A and B are shown apart, each in its own frame.
Chain A
Amino acid sequence: MLGSPMGLLGPCWVRWHCVRKSTPQCGSVVEEERRARANDREYNEKFQYASNCIKTSKYNILTFLPVNLFEQFQEVANTYFLFLLILQLIPQISSLSWFTTIVPLVLVLTITAVKDATDDYFRHKSDNQVNNRQSQVLINGILQQEQWMNVCVGDIIKLENNQFVAADLLLLSSSEPHGLCYIETAELDGETNMKVRQAIPVTSELGDISKLAKFDGEVICEPPNNKLDKFSGTLYWKENKFSLSNQNMLLRGCVLRNTEWCFGLVIFAGPDTKLMQNSGRTKFKRTSIDRLMNTLVLWIFGFLVCMGVILAIGNAIWEHEVGTRFQVYLPWDEAVDSAFFSGFLSFWSYIIILNTVVPISLYVSVEVIRLGHSYFINWDKKMFCMKKRTPAEARTTTLNEELGQVEYIFSDKTGTLTQNIMVFNKCSINGHSYGDVFDVLGHKAELGERPEPIDFSFNPLADKKFLFWDPSLLEAVKMGDPHTHEFFRLLSLCHTVMSEEKNEGELYYKAQSPDEGALVTAARNFGFVFRSRTPKTITVHEMGIAITYQLLAILDFNNIRKRMSVIVRNPEGKIRLYCKGADTLLLDRLHQSTHELLSATMDHLNEYAGEGLRTLVLAYKDLDDDYYEEWAERRLQASLAQDNREDRLASIYEEVESDMMLLGATAIEDKLQQGVPETIALLTLANIKIWVLTGDKQETAVNIGYSCKMLTDDMTEVFIVTGHTVLEVREELRKAREKMMDSSRAVGNGCSYQEKLSSSRLASVLDAVAGEYALVINGHSLAHALEADMELEFLETACACKAVICCRVTPLQKAQVVELVKKYKKAVTLAIGDGANDVSMIKTAHIGVGISGQEGIQAVLASDYSFSQFKFLQRLLLVHGRWSYLRMCKFLCYFFYKNFAFTMVHFWFGFFCGFSAQTVYDQYFITLYNIVYTSLPVLAMGVFDQDVPEQRSMEYPKLYEPGQLNLLFNKREFFICIAQGIYTSVLMFFIPYGVFSEATRDDGTQLADYQSFAVTVATSLVIVVSVQIGLDTGYWTAINHFFIWGSLAVYFAILFAMHSNGLFDMFPNQFRFVGNAQNTLAQPTVWLTIVLTTVVCIMPVVAFRFLRLNLKPDLSDTVRYTQLVRKKQKAQHRCMRRVGRTGSRRSGYAFSHQEGFGELIMSGKNMRLSSLALSSFTTRSSSSWIESLRRKKSDSASSPGGVAEKPLKG
């Protein structure tokens, strides 16, 4: 099963020339700087940089056994049992034969080893798969196919379009002009808009292999680190120095897009890459039940020692008082010279026989149950996504019951809540709203019952994938409505999309953001097809007629302006400015005359925003030639200015973008994953708090918050924290808290709050906040909020809010937020995400969930559970998690009970056998009790039990609460179980004791012999615990029946077999109980004793449970009961608050766009030469745009967001 030995030895050893040195080992110096010389493997080898081979596996064939065993014996439990085993081999101490311990121990070790081996095998497989990916490496002047693992630092490799970047590369040259290349960094940071990277000018000319082969530049740069957005280094080439920044780097995990090919120099490889440095160590996750169990096991161990001490003292006293004088018949062992020493030995003997209070089968059973639950998750067809053909998968099998205790969910946005598909959904043109779909009766039709989408066949250039349902819009276009035409003309002109037409009529748009793509595609389908562009022109097919507009200016988009405009001259020579942007900013810049239209459009905008659509307002303005000339001149001046260039340009832009005529508005749906709002609502009802952590922009995040009903208009207030300094953030948080406090004071008993406030116990105050609040916090504010002195304030504020949205957060911050909640809230956290940027969060949270079926698999690989739709989360938590928790708790309660009942009998017996560590039972019974007689029924309960059917736990989300409050298994419950176990053991010993002390058999011979006593106690024990499991089992499937009845049958079968003549004849010293079963169990007195014991043990339990059910039923009891009496109860109204279309003015503006592309287009730098040839392009400011682009990038890196936004609600 372990594949080829070569594969298992690890690919990293196969090649010698890439010596692996990932982390500085002891003795070696920490890497201070990295030097890599291109095309010089010999030189680079000196530094022993890590090769590009990644290794996540733990063992190979040779190391497996010793390493695995060593690891296993690091488990306290295993060592403990090994210790017991050694004790049992000492004859003076051995109160049980050695096989009672070794059989289960070997079983456990074997099962674990097999599981570890299988896991590691798959790790090897996935490592091999990644390491064996092909890439083209330039070796000795020839491009050669090499496996990823053989790529070394200093190699030059060639990447092609849509390929994964193999290592962290310095971009040398690309197929695009000026060494540009586009990458998608979704795997790294989750942002799906494309990013531009550019080679430094000197290397961008190294387009062909011969030049590259001669390239011998040396890069000196920072050592490997995990900062995704920072890189500093210097290239030394031909006695020149060139500084390098992140703009020149292609990081492993990125995908090359829209770029035919590019060459890069490997700087960091394998474990040194930023991706790997960011992924962090896999922490072994344990559930809270695990931790509780470990504590309890320690307690039990303490209890065991106490009992051992009591009995040892008893033994010493007994030996001293009675034993010494009883030596006539029973002399002491030779080794024993005093009562004290005898007591000491008896302590160990008792430790051995009492160790069954924590049997090793506990750990095995827990694992088996979890494995079962994991399979149920894998098998659940309701968590199978038909579209992507991916089933849910429990990748970690040890966390299931924690799924039933989740209190906080941290969700990524893009790809998790949303599909990252933008759909042109509605629009408002000249005061008329289009896009609502009505069914025959005139009601708004829901998705699924929609009629056929409208037919765009009139337009040969239409995109087949574009769907729209409102035919009236197409009619308006066909009727030649000028407003509608102007509307779509704007959409086809005002953008920075690039088109590509591989074959005639086959248009592909390369949009920088999916929003823009959606808008341009909409225009395309409605007959305004953006066909091609040059730096100076845009060609549009308007209703089949090709029209070329002269592109005069692009007033680019940025975060402050929140709008973009183009100024074009149409063939008639008229100059017109087209503008699209956020309603909040654009509506103030409209001409007075559009007032009436404005109010109609406003209504539509509010409606769209209320539905969670992203809105943009469209406007135009006619410019006369003179004005434009004058304006263009001023613009040129401003752009050439040395200082304050940005501000001057902005004011010039602002000047022209005024008094515009309103055209209408667009509404784009950032398509949510299916069922997201419902899932969130349901999880909220189950008292789970959901935080959205996204790398995306604030507007987009807030918008999604509304569309998935996390934020609603009913909320008292949405706090937005965007401060840039520590003080600002602190102030904003303080204000938010004060507001919450004020309102709760207003609700009542203000003075007590005041007192609490002064006692600085904010958390408790904030728990009692009245009203619903939400918090939106920006990445840069979050950085301050997460600092040690403010993190508590932040946490308190955030936890008092119903919904929290963190935007523009880095992968590390995501993890920090999760860590913060974990640290202070002591709550179970779950992180769900789909991209590589979510990996750290997924690993940090108690439970990590990856969305599978997406392009990247990083998140899935790091996750504990994976499925393809966010909505499956409700089923995972409310059904599987809840059941797992319930089952595990029931299992543990019963397990501790049965073992205490079983073991404590020895303790009582100790008082009657001279504390000699004589067992009450036959040794085979002790061996088999836990692994045969009582294991399967409780396993069946642990695997199959259900208190309420699955649909009920969806109907009554409150059923989830016991898990969060940890009600079903905690220290109190544990003590109850223990008490019940001890109670049972008392009866189990003293009832037979009472009966046997006087009784004789019906043939006159003695009844009270040891063996009959043992059989009687054992039989009543098995019956009592079977009845008890029967009472505990709430869901008797055929399997439960089979196991429970089967266990009883097996008990008697084994009993009679063990006591049979045949076995005795073969091994007289091993099967001493010969004939006991039939002789003892034929006695009516014995059966009367068994029945009596059973009834006395069970009666109080039944009475207690019945009374609790009657007096204090919990919700699940009630649900069950209702089900039983078949009261048709109306489903609890799900408080799904419909978002009212209130008049609250709220912007639905969101745009995943970055500035800089306008300039890029106007300069023609990104145009292919073929298209450039068409234009009368003059090199005006050849490299200025690049510099300004770079500066903007660095500006936005240091202070993104720009201005502090006001709260969205006025």
Chain B
Amino acid sequence: MATSYSVKPEVYSRPHCVPGGAPKTRRPDNTAFKQQRLPAWQPILTAGTVMPFFFLVGLLFTAIGIGILITSNSIQEIEGSVYMYYGLSNFYQNHRHYVKSRDDSQLSGDTRALLNPSSECEPYRRDEDKPIAPCGAIANSLFNDTLELYQITNESDPTPVPIPLKKKGIAWWTDKNVKFRNPPGEGSLEERFKGTTKPLNWRKPVYMLDSEDDDNGFINEDLIVWMRTAALPTFRKLYRVIEQKNDLEPTLPAGRYYLNVTYNYPVHSFDGRKRMILSTISWMGGKNPFLAIAYITTGSISFLLGVVMLVINHKYQSDGNIGVTL
């Protein structure tokens, strides 16, 4: 019979297409992993889990939404410190060429980059032969209007009283202390910036942005705020802070105020608009009606979906829909 013949001396070779791991014993291991028997959690969407989820989301979101709305509305009262913003619209700080037109090495005080800015800064890299500090389109377009706020304290005295505007503390701590640093050196700022020139649009060099040394040069907070480019073409940036004097009286009591704008910054050419905004803040920042409305809407829809599901589930559950197809 066929089986009685001895097996040929044919060497049985198995070319492995699966690379690696040719086990010595050909018997597969009996492990949960290899046999695909790993213990596992097998969740399934059931009425018992899904509907409570929807109701919970519905309630929670509506509550949060209302909370935000209340907070948001309370911001109308001018209490606490008042924040003064300038706003620009139709200004594309998020344009790709604009965003990349800076040299963070230079801004962080790197001496080499100071004198030889990155090519990303073109065409604001060099002015004649001198490297521009800070280079790039962002720095070149620094917002340089000045805003001053005056209050007419009493009607009899028409001389407006200037309101003290704090210009420090408007930038992130990391920006001011890590990301932006003046070039190292012993001498004055002017010496440390030696060999550089001012950006084309600027009236004065970077080391003359402010009189105080800890707000001058690259660490000038107005510059830092500007350099943190906006995500959207309509944006506002913090300009000054009007600090609260004490808890008893409002920071900006009702009255007549003058805003004095020194107009340096042209926006007309590209239909830009400028704004000045005064606002107080709460735990969640400034006024934010969008978030409140979005939360309330989502909450309501979620609740509604829950109800719809309840109805459908109830209606079809009675028919014993699941399991009948078996």
Contacts and interface: CB of A to CB of B under 8 A. Distances in A.
A573 interface: no
Contacts of B205: none
A1005 B1 contact: no
How would you classify the secondary structure of chain B's contact residues: helix, strand, loop or mixed?
loop
Interface in B252-307: 266, 269-271, 279, 281-291, 294-295, 298, 301-302, 305
The interface size bin for chain A is 35 or more
Given A916-B94, A1095-B298, 20 more contacts: A118-B19, A122-B15, A325-B270, A330-B137, A381-B34, A395-B15, A861-B15, A912-B94, A946-B36, A1004-B241, A1006-B225, A1006-B236, A1006-B237, A1008-B236, A1036-B40, A1037-B40, A1083-B284, A1106-B45, A1120-B42, A1132-B326
Interface in B155-183: 170-175, 178-179
A959 B20 CA distance: 34
A1036 B232 contact: no
* Most chain B CB within a 10 A radius of its CB, from A998, A1040, A1132: A998
Given A912-B94, A1095-B298, A1118-B326, A162 B288 contact: no
Given A329-B137, A855-B7, A1074-B179, A1089 B57 contact: no
Nearest to A1129: B326
Contact of B238 (A395, A1004, A1113): A1004
Contacts of A751: none
B118 A918 contact: no
B19 A913 contact: no
B291 A1092 contact: yes
Nearest to A383: B28
Contacts of B288: 995, 998-999, 1085
Contacts of A1111: 312, 316, 321
Contacts of B211: none
Given A379-B34, A946-B40, A1075 B175 contact: yes
* Most chain B CB within a 10 A radius of its CB, from A1001, A1003, A1118, A1127: A1003
A1120 B322 CA distance: 11
Contacts of B104: 1064, 1068-1069, 1072
Given A1005-B238, A1037-B39, A379 B28 contact: yes
A923 B80 CA distance: 40
Contacts of A511: 1
Interface string B129-142: 00000000100110
Given A322-B270, A1069-B104, A1110-B312, A1010 B229 contact: yes
Contacts of B39: 1037-1038
A95 B279 CA distance: 37
Contact of B34 (A122, A376, A1069): A376
B174 A998 contact: no
Nearest to A1074: B179
Contacts of B305: 1099, 1103
Interface of A: 95, 114-115, 118-119, 122-123, 125-126, 129, 162-164, 192, 255, 257, 322, 325-326, 328-331, 333-334, 349, 371, 374-376, 378-382, 384, 389-391, 393-397, 420-422, 465, 508-509, 511, 514, 517-518, 521, 855, 857, 860-861, 883, 912-914, 916-918, 944, 946, 950, 991, 993-1014, 1034-1040, 1061, 1064-1065, 1068-1069, 1072, 1074-1075, 1078-1079, 1083-1085, 1088-1089, 1092, 1095-1096, 1099, 1102-1103, 1105-1107, 1109-1111, 1113, 1115, 1117-1122, 1124-1125, 1127, 1129, 1132
B295 A1092 contact: yes
A918 B99 contact: yes
The 10 closest A-B pairs by CB, nearest first: A1075-B174, A1013-B231, A122-B15, A379-B34, A329-B141, A916-B96, A1000-B286, A1004-B83, A517-B1, A918-B96
A389 B27 contact: yes
B3 interface: yes
Contacts of A1007: 285
A43 to B, nearest CB: 33
B48 to A, nearest CB: 10
A395 B57 contact: no
B6 to A, nearest CB: 7
Contacts of B150: none
B105 interface: yes
B52 interface: no
Contacts of B291: 994-995, 999, 1085, 1088-1089, 1092
A1074 B228 CA distance: 11
Contact of B15 (A123, A420, A1008, A1078): A123
Interface of B: 1-21, 26-30, 34-36, 38-47, 50, 53-54, 57, 61, 64, 68, 81, 83, 85, 90-99, 101, 103-105, 107-108, 110, 113, 118, 123, 137, 140-141, 170-175, 178-179, 225, 228-238, 241, 266, 269-271, 279, 281-291, 294-295, 298, 301-302, 305, 309, 312-313, 316-317, 321-323, 325-326
B96 A349 contact: yes
Contacts of A1095: 57, 61, 298, 302
A371 B18 contact: yes
Contacts of B17: 119, 122, 374, 394-397
5 contacts: A330-B137, A421-B2, A1013-B231, A1095-B298, A1124-B44
A1004 B325 contact: no
A1005 B174 CA distance: 13
A386 to B, nearest CB: 8
A509 B286 contact: no
B174 A1061 contact: yes
B35 A380 contact: yes
Contacts of B27: 381, 384, 389, 391
A3 to B, nearest CB: 13
A1096 B61 CA distance: 11
Contact of B286 (A998, A1072, A1121): A998
Contacts of B231: 996, 1008-1010, 1012-1014
A1039 B237 contact: no
Nearest to A861: B15
Contacts of B16: 118, 122
A684 to B, nearest CB: 20
B281 to A, nearest CB: 5
A1064 B179 contact: yes
